[in-house]
Amino acid sequence: MYRYDEFDATLVAERVAQFRGQVARRLSGELTEDEFKPLRLMNGLYLQLHAYMLRVAIPYGTLSSKQMRKLAFIARRYDKGYGHFTTRQNIQYNWPALADTPDILDALAEAEMHAIQTSGNCIRNVTSDQYAGAAADEVEDPRPYAEMIRQWSTFHPEFSFLPRKFKIAVTASDHDRAAVKVHDIGLRLYRNDKGEAGFEVIVGGGLGRTPYVGHAIRKFLPKEHLLSYLEAILRVYNLQGRRDNIYKARIKILVNAEGADNFAAMVEKEWAAMKKTDIDLPREEIERIGAYFAPPAFETLPEESASLEEQRRRDPDFARWLRTNMAAHKTPGYAIVNVSLKPVGGVPGDISDGQMEALADLAEDYSFDEIRATHEQNLVLPHVRKDDLCAVWSGLKRADLATPNIGLVSDIIACPGLDYCTLANTRSIPIAQRISERFADLGDQESLGELKIKISGCINACGHHHVGHIGILGVDKKGEEFYQITLGGSGAEDASLGDIVGRGLSADATIDAVEKIVACYRANRQDNERFLDAYRRLGAEPFKEALYEAA
């Protein structure tokens, strides 16, 4: 994991001091709320429906046990005993007092964390593959590049007042777990025919009111030029992105208005004129950062673990959890463990202080001190010996963190919605809770296979509904909460935007509708095809029929 040196630590400490001054000026009345707003928004502090909300950055989703314990401490000391993991690998606290926020930031800084650029029209916290450094299918660990982007983008003087917020995601696997095609910039590290590693640069994806799948504007960017190329894209966007209409200000609008080819030409022209040696990191610095992400000291183990197989045979619950929550690790004898934050009837992404501490302990004992946050609002222990899986499972069970439902129908993404968010049309969380209760039978869920439901409480699409296999969007109809269903979206390497089916439904009818859609899938499924594949084969019609016939 990356560790701060004196430069990183000083910068974060100075940021806390600066923010402490700003909060003091607000509390003394020197600043009005209007004047304070842009300042607090530079630091992840939102004013929500009931209270302030503080969003803490977890760069590329990587956490140490020490950091997780600090998050637990903050939840207990300054909040109501829990935190909420978001779709951007961040954590949010829903109830901090304004006067406490500088102390919270101090506590974070002690664990080398911050809330810098978790809001505002700037380059936001960079996200990556939660399996980075562990995935069996990755070209190399993408996190050093994510860390380089974090440093380059932090307080970038030119790009702190962009037309709109800006999100960058990095992956290094064919299987895209970072949703790079629906980001402002998505970077895919891969090897070309000559065996050299470089980035495919995808620009202009995004959800929200006008969803787009991004365009590859450069097929192969040598790794060492990553930062200068990003700077060229950002400069073109900063100068030419629309600022007259907040709904047309994201880079996707510019890219699609210009056309991807033309936009690419604009970037290439800017890039050609840049003095790259001032921007691109020299080899020494790339190696310095890379060294922090060297693989931990894995033991040499046989691929299979006899004790694991024995335990798997003996305990069907354990066996089921392994089937759904374990993923292949690149090192023989190790596995990746997914920790579901989606218990039946729970709030997706919520975790208590005690659970955070339990997880920190498990990571320390069994996963080289590492934890990851996923954009699907779950957590990961990336490096667990197969021999230890049963012990980890028992520990997770004790902490109520062993729900075996990763990728299944109850592993739902939901934005905070009207329970917290000032922009919401509808609630999202209760819909997620009710769907998971409706499908509570875990065996049944498993038989359905991968099925991703994503729920947003308004068109801003924080719950990524467009790329849900089943997407649910909250809409306001004359003061009543309605939900619009989309089908067939995907945020992975086979990215697509869902099709709208039918009219808006009440909350009750929405839960029923999901059940009917699932029943229709079950009836028409061939072999073991996924819901998404069945939908792509069948089209919307049979599903629409199933919905209307019963209506």
Partner 1 sequence: MKLLKFNAGRLVPALEEPPVEVSLEDWRANPQAHAGATALKISNAAPLDDIAGDLSGFSVVILAFPGFKDGRAYSQARLLRERFGYTGEVRACGEILRDQIFFMARCGFDAFEFSGADADSAAAALKDFSHFYQAAADGTAPVWRRRLARAAAA
User: Which residues contact partner 1 (rule: CB under 8 A)?
Assistant: 5, 7-8, 10-11, 14-15, 17-18, 22, 38-39, 42, 121, 151-152, 154-162, 235, 238-239, 243, 273, 275, 278-279, 281-282, 284-285, 288
Neighbouring C-beta atoms of residue 177, cutoff 10 Å: 24
Q: Which one among 463, 471, 488, 491 touches ligand SF4, defined by CB under 6 A? A: 463
User: Tokens in use for 81?
Assistant: 């005993």
- Of 163 and 208, CB closest to ligand SF4: 208
Contacted entry of partner 1, ligand SF4, none for residue 221, CB cut-off 5 to 8 Å set by kind: none
- Taking the least distance from each CB to partner 1, the nearer of 239 and 328 is 239
CB of 463 to ligand SF4, least distance (A): 6
Query: H-helix or E-strand containing 197?
Result: strand 197-203
Q: In a 3-state reduction of DSSP, which class is residue 209?
A: coil
Which of partner 1, ligand SF4, none does residue 462 bind to, with CB < 5 to 8 Å depending on kind?
Answer: ligand SF4
Read off the tokens for 490.
């995907």
* Cβ distance to ligand SF4 smaller for residue 143 or 252: 252
**Among positions 96, 198, 346, 417, the unique one binding ligand SF4 when judged by CB under 6 A:** 417
Least Cβ distance, residue 122 to partner 1 (angstroms):
9
Q: Cα dist. 159→232, 249, 312 in Å? A: 11, 14, 52
Q: Is residue 457 within the footprint of ligand SF4 (CB under 6 A)?
A: yes
CB of 514 to ligand SF4, least distance (A): 18
- Dihedral sign (CA 138, 141, 143, 144): negative
Shortest distance, position 207 Cβ to ligand SF4, whole Å: 9
Residue 417 site contact among ligand SF4, partner 1, none (CB < 5 to 8 Å, cut-off depends on kind):
ligand SF4
Nearer to ligand SF4 by Cβ, of 163 and 417: the residue is 417
- Rounded Cα distance, 539 and 535, in Å: 5
Which of 198, 348, 407, 416 touches ligand SF4 by CB under 6 A? 416
Distance in Å, CB of 123 to partner 1, minimum: 11
Which residues contact residue 122 at a Cβ distance below 8 angstroms, ignoring those fewer than 6 apart?
42, 153, 156, 159, 160, 161, 162, 165, 166
Which range, of 412-420, 438-446, 475-483, 543-551, touches ligand SF4 by CB under 6 A?
Answer: 412-420
| E-state strands within 86-137 | 91-93, 127-128
Contacted entry of partner 1, ligand SF4, none for residue 201, CB cut-off 5 to 8 Å set by kind? none
Q: How far is the CB of 417 from ligand SF4 (least distance, A)?
A: 5
Angle between helices 226-240 and 260-273 (to 10 degrees): 120
Q: What is the rounded CA–CA span in Å between residue 448 and residue 519? A: 10
Q: Which does 423 bind (CB under 5 to 8 A by kind): partner 1, ligand SF4, none?
A: ligand SF4
- Bridge-based pairing state of the strands 45-47 and 82-85: unpaired
460 binds ligand SF4 (CB under 6 A): yes
Residues in contact with 524: Cβ distance below 8 Å, sequence separation at least 6, in sequence order: 534, 538, 542
Of 305, 335, 297, nearest in space to 134 by CA: 335
- C-beta closer to ligand SF4: residue 407 or 463: 463
Place of tokens 């504007």: 217
Q: Is 461 in the site for ligand SF4 (CB under 6 A)?
A: yes
**In this chain, which of 424, 429, 517, 546 binds ligand SF4, going by CB under 6 A?**
424
Binding partner of residue 457 among partner 1, ligand SF4, none, CB under 5 to 8 Å per kind?
ligand SF4
Evaluate whether 103 touches 78 at the Cβ level (below 8 Å). yes
| Cβ proximity to ligand SF4, 55 vs 235, nearer residue | 55
**Contacting range for ligand SF4; rule: CB under 6 A; set: 13-21, 192-200, 269-277, 418-426:** 418-426
**Smaller CB distance to partner 1: residue 19 or 212?**
19
**Per-residue 3-state assignment (H helix, E strand, C coil) for 124-190:** CCCEECCCCCCECCECCCCHHHHHHHHHHHCCCCCCCCCCCCECEEEECECCCCCCHHHCCEEEEEE
Shortest Å distance, C-beta 21 to partner 1: 8
Which residues have C-beta within 8 Å of that of residue 205, sequence separation ≥ 6?
180, 181, 182, 183, 184, 186, 212, 213, 214, 215, 252, 495
Q: By CB under 6 A, name the binding residues for ligand SF4.
A: 415-417, 421, 423-424, 456-458, 460-463
